[in-house]
Structure 1
Amino acid sequence: MIFKHSGWAKSVALLAAFAVLSSCGLPRVGPNKREIFAGSVQREGDAFIVSVNRRVTTATAIYPALGFTPAFLDAGVLGSDTIRPGDTLGLTIYENVEDGLLVPEGAPATVLNEVQVDGDGFIFVPYAGRIRAAGNSPEAIRRIITEGLGSQTPDPQVLVRRLAGDGATVSVVGGVGGSGVYPIERPTRTLSAMLAQAGGLAIPQEVAQVTVVRGNMREKVWFEDIFTHPRYDIALRDGDRILVEQDSRSFSALGATGSQQLVDFERQVISAIEAIALVGGLSTAIADPTGVFVFRNEPEEIAEAVLNRNDMVGPQRMVYVLDLTEPTGMFEARDFAIRDGDTVYVTEAPYVQFQKILGALTGATGAASTLASTASSN
């Protein structure tokens, strides 16, 4: 069979191309604005779509509340000279006689190292007997030993020093230079000093969080706040457990951005404009600056504040819309806070899909011309 009219053949091929385009969608980065708005509660979906303004920005400005309660803040610094069970003492005893009770002949003094305070708080010193050390200072222990030996040797001189023992200790683990168990000594009685003793941070300090576990209490603070707010540099207690870890918050970036990825928080607070910048900004070739969306499950109380309602029940699906072309659009995006688990999505500009359709049709038309030419030559 021979086609004598090439125009008729081109028309048939063009109609076939239209049929193909109508039956299958062209590639794209995700839903367009019309499809997103169709998911609102006013239409076919269950999400509240809200344009971001100053009131919305204020109502949603919720940041991680980290800090210590008065139970931690009001705890006084431990007296580093107070002896506790488990501490280790060093004793040096001088006697003013040649044939002393403890001092070897010809030696100026006797040294008793590694004298450990037992679980009941006592130490044993030859000729002075069992002496209560826990709760006393080294000076008080010196006087007690001197009195105990004074009745048996003339004018004994006693020196008592506290060594690093296993009495008052804390454990430090996580993102530090050296995890371990450290004694609470005069230089390390506060949180910042103990972190320094453990080698400092091994993770970025901007996103470092410090958790202190004391008994059945567990409280957390930003590392930077320890120095910004000195009252957070709390006094440590025997048995404290200190955990240093990196902030685990993240958000997803999808659509017409420089890259699509899961992004970890690099600072305590990230705005919408910073979130876009972190993934390479808007794609200049395809992004629609009027279609920047933030998808979030909002707690009931915040949803009510945003929507100015009081009948919400449970978390609500919210879609916040940012139009960067509005007179205040860039400011709103700069002030709107991104939260953990958010999805930032940028739609394609409408003309992009038109270009794809046009390109597909152009390709289909070219194919039709080739088909018609082939048919005419047969």
Structure 2
Amino acid sequence: MLSGAVENGGDAHVIFVNNHVNRTANFLPSYGFSREFLQAGVVGADEIRPGDVLGLMIWENVDDGLLVGLGQSSTQLQQLQVDSQGFIFVPYAGRIRAAGNSPEQLRQLITARLETQTPDPQVSVTRVAGDGATVSIMGKAFGQGVYPIERPTRTLSAMLAKAGGVAIDPEVATITVKRGRETGKVWLSDLYFNPSYDIALRPGDVILVEEDQRSFTALGALGRQTKVPLGSEQISALEAVAMVGGLSTLSADPTGVFVLRDEPSQVASAVLGQPVSGTQRMAYVLDLTRPNGLFLSRDFMIRDDDTIYVTEAPYVRWQKILGAITGSANSARALAATTGID
């Protein structure tokens, strides 16, 4: 590892972890919503939108009105769908813009159009159904599907509750919201502890519930060698080693715990104390035998795609060499005994 360092003509920076490294290298990519998400106000529950289906009831104060048949006082116009441009058509009132208005505002518009042709018309507007104000919930939610934005479900947490919540461990659940070209992502726990992330929803939002996919790889003289999910928002090097069974008591070298990662130029420049360009290969070394070694490893944060490699103690390699030599000698003696050759 040391022979491949930049100082020896290699392409990796070998850095012994100290307090300065912990302060500068512990950069954790954070999730969150942009200003566009955070500043969006809640959708008005009574606002009519394209795709909504409306029902009209019209009363006329004459025996034989424009819309009312002979001997009747009212007529119903059901299943009037607001078109993609936001308009509906009402006989004798013409094409009227419904989108953006409340049912009461639309009632007043229709009344104003009809009262020039029939005396004192009375109009009632109701929302029958609608698909113009909906969001889609996908992924690891109990109730995937398309849900309308209603008065109780105008925020992200309320809509997730409407869908039955998440079907995975809440500690590793992430919530992604896609709105047009904008995308935001937060931890589910942030919705509980940071109310500003409980954003107002908009028609057409796509909500994706996922299990955190971040992981690190453990290699070398450890309890097991495998790829390990990080499991929570922050994991230290000490915790990561413990997650794979700790150091092997028979073979690990506690002076050679390496954390290998590709570091972005901004962080690498801060760690090295000099400007560098482009992503840098970094090998951070943790020496657990130093007086503060355990404290430093407790404070060193593991990131996605890190590799933790623990070297073997020198005496282990020596035992392997001796084992190979003595094994060869024993094999030779066994062969001689079998063939009778001295």
Q: TM-score range by the shorter chain?
A: 0.7 to 0.9
1:289 corresponds in structure 2 to 254
Letter in 2 for 1:65: S
Within 5 Å, give how 1:201-350 maps onto structure 2: 201-310=166-275, 312-350=276-314
Unaligned runs of 5+ in 2: none
In the alignment, the residues of structure 2 paired with residue 77 and residue 371 of structure 1 have an alpha-carbon distance, to the nearest angstrom, of: 85
Give the deviation of 1:267 after TM superposition: 1.2
Letter in 2 for 1:297: D
Matched, 1:61 2:30: no
TM-score norm. by structure 2 comes to: 0.85
Q: 1:109 to 1:193 in 2, by over 3 A?
A: farther
Within 5 Å, give how 1:24-173 maps onto structure 2: 36-43=1-8, 45-93=10-58, 111-126=76-91, 130-146=95-111, 158-173=123-138
In the alignment, the residues of structure 1 paired with residue 171 and residue 253 of structure 2 have an alpha-carbon distance, to the nearest angstrom, of: 32
User: Which secondary structure state, in structure 2, belongs to the residue aligned with residue 65 of structure 1?
Assistant: coil
Kept after mapping to 2: 8 A contact 1:322/1:329 = yes
Letter in 2 for 1:346: V
Kept after mapping to 2: 8 A contact 1:256/1:286 = yes
Name which of structure 1's ranges 106-115 and 296-305 shifts more when overlaid on structure 2: 106-115
1:181-233 residue CA offsets vs partner (Å, 9 max, x unmatched) = 33322222222222333343233333333333323323322232222211111
Letter in 2 for 1:210: I
Structure with the higher fraction of residues in strand conformation: 2
Which structure is richer in relative contact order (CA contacts within 8 A, separation 6 or more)? 1
In the alignment, the residues of structure 1 paired with residue 80 and residue 224 of structure 2 have an alpha-carbon distance, to the nearest angstrom, of: 64
1:94-115 residue CA offsets vs partner (Å, 9 max, x unmatched) = 6788988767899997554322
In the alignment, the residues of structure 2 paired with residue 351 and residue 308 of structure 1 have an alpha-carbon distance, to the nearest angstrom, of: 36
1:302-331 residue CA offsets vs partner (Å, 9 max, x unmatched) = 222112223x23222211111122222111
Kept after mapping to 1: 8 A contact 2:27/2:267 = no
Letter in 1 for 2:18: N
In the alignment, the residues of structure 1 paired with residue 112 and residue 263 of structure 2 have an alpha-carbon distance, to the nearest angstrom, of: 71
1:331-376 residue CA offsets vs partner (Å, 9 max, x unmatched) = 1111111112211001112222233333344444545655676798
Unaligned runs of 5+ in 1: 1-35
In the alignment, the residues of structure 1 paired with residue 114 and residue 337 of structure 2 have an alpha-carbon distance, to the nearest angstrom, of: 121
In the alignment, the residues of structure 1 paired with residue 157 and residue 304 of structure 2 have an alpha-carbon distance, to the nearest angstrom, of: 28
Give the deviation of 1:300 after TM superposition: 2.1
Q: 1:315 to 1:159 in 2, by over 3 A?
A: same
User: Which secondary structure state, in structure 2, belongs to the residue aligned with residue 274 of structure 1?
Assistant: helix
In the alignment, the residues of structure 2 paired with residue 216 and residue 369 of structure 1 have an alpha-carbon distance, to the nearest angstrom, of: 75
User: Which secondary structure state, in structure 2, belongs to the residue aligned with residue 224 of structure 1?
Assistant: helix
Kept after mapping to 2: 8 A contact 1:164/1:183 = no
User: Which secondary structure state, in structure 2, belongs to the residue aligned with residue 38 of structure 1?
Assistant: helix
TM-score norm. by structure 1 comes to: 0.78
Name which of structure 1's ranges 119-128 and 324-333 shifts more when overlaid on structure 2: 119-128
Aligned length: 342
Bigger Rg over Cα? 1
